[in-house]
Amino acid sequence: FGEVGSKLVFSADSDGGGANNIDLYSHLFSSPTTPALVADHPASISQYSFIVSLGKLFFEGNDGANGAEPWTYDGSNAAAMLL
């Protein structure tokens, strides 16, 4: 997990499918709502690769087409992006 801006960003297995179905979530610290699934994140995320730097989360993701690649998420409502 990591703190990006005013959000906690973390990975979780939301459907019990195992290590290949890890999803990326964000949660606004000041909100009592349920954490939200980050849109358009890669199909598989390495939960051990999170690095927070320059106000962004960097992580290893696999979209199923390009293999393991570096991705980033800036904490906004925008999607995670392949670098």
Q: What is the pLDDT of residues 51-69, one digit of tens each?
A: 889 889 898 888 888 888 9
Amino acid 70: pLDDT: 92
| Greatest Cα-to-Cα distance within the chain, rounded to the nearest angstrom | 37
What is the length of the chain?
Answer: 83
**38 band by pLDDT with thresholds 50, 70 and 90:** confident
